[in-house]
């Protein structure tokens, strides 16, 4: 557990999670920063209206609730500034747009979250940006892909659905040598388990929708930057008029208070389920970076301080009908997108068509699992029910 990191004022991370983004004395002693709703902010006099020398000028840039979350996330990630957006995807979009220019070149990991690819195809392309996808396992060899006109390297570790662990320090060293900023989609690692800035990253993106909110009841994104990147992202973020809803920020602040204990349980239960699944005859492969036999394990051990509850499995070659029988037999695992909440989820996926720089060719159907906060023995029994249905009629 990453409890020894100093996130604010010399406190350990777990203490900081209980303190960041709160100032009870400013709110008559009430423990939590209240939900401030509002657009108009009144100025006390004409001189101040002209100088704008006040903490808040208008609801969109920030209000006491959204600022509390911004400062808490910046401190937790170890960055200079955090920008909030209405979703994780819009956090990725504002980051890419910040560095987009006609004739520019961007490097994006082939294992990236698929809607990121859609943004590149629909928007970056139209703006005249040349997007090049690279093998997520490229490591220091990325130096050869960086060009004179490369504006940004986007990483995501582990990769969405397929869980490749990237050698982020090696990629950052190569990019820094060429003066190119590196961004990471750090949603899986969270600020607790992957210290993006300590590893050399310039921009850390969170879909706060996942573990930070943690209860599947809000959508929210965050872009945390070092000083130079903050100046660039601030300009685009402001120009686009992006802002986050105060009630959702309140839920994210509330989620932070329990983030460390929730993550530890997701990690332990997820690993226990991954180990159990690896021993099942129906399962060909388990893609969980914390499993010693899984690809990327050594890098995970070197760079991460823990593991999320999200991983994938490859089944033996069963037909689709059998997989549907398995999914339909489950009583605890829900079928649905997103993850990071308290409940366990399972979804089939096939990213064969999405890859352009690498080949994804699993030996059987692939399933992504999110292990929630339920009793692990209940989860095993639920999957046993599923496996019984899988092996029913129609086994190959």
Ligand X SMILES: *Cc1c(COP(=O)(O)O)cnc(C)c1O
185 part of the active site? yes
Q: Are 38 and 63 in contact (CB under 8 A)?
A: yes
Residues facing 11 on adjacent strands: 8
193 part of the active site? no
Among 150, 160, 162, 236, binds ligand X (CB under 6 A): 160
**Closest residue to ligand X in the complex (CB):** 88
The pattern of x and - marking residues 39 through 68 that bind ligand X according to CB under 6 A reads ------------------------------
CB of 221 to ligand X, least distance (A): 6
Verify binding: residue 87, ligand X, rule CB under 6 A. yes
What's the maximum distance between 2 C-alpha atoms anywhere in the chain? 79
The token pair at 356 is: 């352009």
Q: Dump the DSSP string for 68-100.
A: HHHHHHHHHHT-SEEEEESSHHHHHHHHHHHT-
CB of 76 to ligand X, least distance (A): 18
Dihedral over alpha carbons 166, 172, 178, 183 (to 10 degrees)? 80
Q: Which of these segments, 19-27, 81-89, 101-109, 147-155, binds ligand X (CB under 6 A)?
A: 81-89
Q: Are 136 and 159 in contact (CB under 8 A)?
A: yes
58 part of the active site? no
CB of 203 to ligand X, least distance (A): 14
89-93 long-range contacts, Cβ below 8 Å, gap at least 24?
89/113, 89/115, 89/116, 89/119, 89/207, 89/221, 90/221, 90/242, 91/205, 91/206, 91/207, 91/221, 91/222, 91/223, 92/116, 92/119, 92/185, 92/205, 92/221, 93/119, 93/123
CB of 262 to ligand X, least distance (A): 16
Based on CB atoms, which residue is closest to ligand X, 207 or 246?
A: 207
- Measuring CA to CA, which residue among 213, 248, 256, 222 is closest to residue 18? 256
Among 7, 219, 244, 322, binds ligand X (CB under 6 A): 219
Among 221, 270, 362, 386, binds ligand X (CB under 6 A): 221
Verify binding: residue 166, ligand X, rule CB under 6 A. no
Which H or E element spans position 336? none
How far apart CA 312 and CA 290 sit, in angstroms, is 12
Catalytic site residue from 151, 195, 210, 262? 210
60 part of the active site? yes
Number of residues that bind ligand X (CB under 6 A): 13
The pattern of x and - marking residues 176 through 195 that bind ligand X according to CB under 6 A reads ---------x-x--------
Residues with Cβ within 8 Å of 181's Cβ and at least 6 positions away in sequence, in order, are: 99, 151, 152, 153, 175, 202, 203, 228, 229
Based on CB atoms, which residue is closest to ligand X, 64 or 158?
A: 158
Based on CB atoms, which residue is closest to ligand X, 89 or 322?
A: 89
CB of 389 to ligand X, least distance (A): 28
How far apart CA 272 and CA 193 sit, in angstroms, is 18
Verify binding: residue 209, ligand X, rule CB under 6 A. yes
Catalytic site residue from 110, 167, 185, 226? 185
- Measuring CA to CA, which residue among 338, 317, 315, 335 is closest to residue 327? 335
Subset of 90-119 contacting ligand X (CB under 6 A): 113
Q: Which of these segments, 37-45, 66-74, 83-91, 95-103, binds ligand X (CB under 6 A)?
A: 83-91
Verify binding: residue 136, ligand X, rule CB under 6 A. no
Based on CB atoms, which residue is closest to ligand X, 220 or 379?
A: 220
Based on CB atoms, which residue is closest to ligand X, 266 or 325?
A: 266
Subset of 292-351 contacting ligand X (CB under 6 A): 338
How far apart CA 290 and CA 303 sit, in angstroms, is 11
Q: Dump the DSSP string for 240-294.
A: HT----HHHHHHHHHHHHTHHHHHHHHHHHHHHHHHHHHT-TTEEEEE-TTSTTS
CB of 287 to ligand X, least distance (A): 15
Catalytic site residue from 37, 58, 60, 301? 60
CB of 136 to ligand X, least distance (A): 13
Q: Which residues bind ligand X (CB under 6 A)?
A: 87-89, 113, 160, 185, 187, 207, 209-210, 219, 221, 338
Catalytic annotation, residues: 60, 113, 185, 210
């Amino acid at each position: 557990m990453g409890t020894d990191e100093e996130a604010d004022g010399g406190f350990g991370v777990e203490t900081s999670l209980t303190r960041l983004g709160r100032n009870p004395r400013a709110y008559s002693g009430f423990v939590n920063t209240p939900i401030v709703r509002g657009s108009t902010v009144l100025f006390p006099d004409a001189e101040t209206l002209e100088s704008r020398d006040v903490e808040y000028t208008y609801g969109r840039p920030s209000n006491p609730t959204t600022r509390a979350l911004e400062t808490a996330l910046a401190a937790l990630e170890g960055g200079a500034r955090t920008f909030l957006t209405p979703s994780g995807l819009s956090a990725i979009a504002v980051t890419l747009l910040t560095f987009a220019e006609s004739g520019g070149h961007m490097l994006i990991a082939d294992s990236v979250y698929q809607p990121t690819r859609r943004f590149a195809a629909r928007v970056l392309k139209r703006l005249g940006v040349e997007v090049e996808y690279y093998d997520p396992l490229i490591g220091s060899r990325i130096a050869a892909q960086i060009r004179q006109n490369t504006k940004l390297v986007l990483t995501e570790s582990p990769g969405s659905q397929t869980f490749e662990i990237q050698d982020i320090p090696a990629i950052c060293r190569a990019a820094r040598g060429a003066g190119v900023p590196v961004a990471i989609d750090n949603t899986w690692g969270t600020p607790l388990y992957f210290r993006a800035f300590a590893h050399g990253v310039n921009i850390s993106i969170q879909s706060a929708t996942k573990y930070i909110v943690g209860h599947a009841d809000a959508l929210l994104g965050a872009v945390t930057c070092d000083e130079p990147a903050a100046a660039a992202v601030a300009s685009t973020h402001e120009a686009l008029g992006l802002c986050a809803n105060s009630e959702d920020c309140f839920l994210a602040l509330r989620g932070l208070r329990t983030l460390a204990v929730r993550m530890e349980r997701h990690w332990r239960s997820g690993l226990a389920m991954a180990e159990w699944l690896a021993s099942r005859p129906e399962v060909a492969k388990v893609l969980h970076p914390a499993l010693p036999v899984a690809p990327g394990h050594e890098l995970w051990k070197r760079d991460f301080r823990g593991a999320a509850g999200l991983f994938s499995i490859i089944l033996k070659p069963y037909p689709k009908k059998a997989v549907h029988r398995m999914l339909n037999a489950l009583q605890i695992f829900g079928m649905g997108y997103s993850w990071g909440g308290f409940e366990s989820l399972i979804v089939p996926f096939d990213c064969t068509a999405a890859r352009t720089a690498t080949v994804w060719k699993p030996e059987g159907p692939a399933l992504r699992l999110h292990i929630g906060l339920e009793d692990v023995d209940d989860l095993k029994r639920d999957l046993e029910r599923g496996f019984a249905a899988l092996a029913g009629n129609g086994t190959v």
